[in-house]
């Protein structure tokens, strides 16, 4: 059942292979241009990634042995601000305390109907002890 090819059959096969070859060449060229475009995009994204500032607590790559945050014990000068000397004081200004009664000096609670602390039986603690006892 071997079939002999005629000259016309051979020319038809060559024409089909030539069309297929040209089609593959065009597809190959399109894929090459796509590869070049994607490589440029990858380079651009990598360049953008490295140009951004890292957040203080970034979730990027972590250090193997990170330092704990804050100052180290015993480093730096630690002094508390002292009150001025009497000769440095130029003037003393008396300012009324907010939320207090001008006559008795009791604390006025704005959220409890405007009454004083003793009216509601409340006891608020201040820096120097209970406010209601002043």
For residue 19, the model assigns a pLDDT of: 97
Q: Which residue has the tokens 């209601």?
A: 132
d(CA 121, CA 93): 33
Does some domain include residue 66? no
- Say if residue 22's pLDDT is above 90: yes
User: Domain span at residue 108?
Assistant: 96-134
pLDDT digits (tens, 9 = 90+) for 64-86: 788 888 777 777 676 777 888 88
Does some domain include residue 109? yes
Does some domain include residue 28? yes
Does some domain include residue 79? no
Report residue 58 as tokens: 């970034």
Sequence-distant (≥ 6) Cβ neighbours of residue 18 within 8 angstroms? none
d(CA 90, CA 86): 9
Residue 111's nearest CA partner among 102, 97, 122 is 122
**CB-based burial of residue 77 (10 Å sphere; 0-12 exposed, 13-18 middle, 19+ buried)?**
exposed
Mean pLDDT of 45-66: 72
Does some domain include residue 58? no
CB 77 within 8 A of CB 71: no
Count: domains in the chain: 2
Does some domain include residue 85? no
- Say if residue 49's pLDDT is above 50: yes
Does some domain include residue 73? no
d(CA 111, CA 113): 6
Does some domain include residue 30? yes
């Amino acid at each position: 059942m071997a079939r002999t090819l005629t000259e016309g059959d051979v020319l038809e096969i060559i024409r089909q292979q030539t069309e297929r070859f040209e089609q593959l060449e065009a597809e190959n060229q399109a894929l090459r241009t796509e590869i070049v475009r994607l490589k440029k995009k990858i380079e651009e994204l990598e360049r953008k990634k490295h140009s951004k500032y890292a957040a203080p607590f970034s979730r990027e790559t972590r250090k193997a042995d990170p330092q704990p945050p804050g100052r180290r014990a015993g480093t730096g000068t630690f002094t508390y601000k002292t009150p001025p000397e009497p000769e440095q004081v130029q003037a003393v200004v008396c300012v009324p305390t907010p939320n207090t009664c001008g006559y008795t000096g009791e604390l006025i609670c704005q959220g409890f109907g405007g009454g004083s602390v003793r009216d509601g039986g409340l006891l608020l603690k201040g820096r120097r002890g209970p406010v209601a006892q002043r």
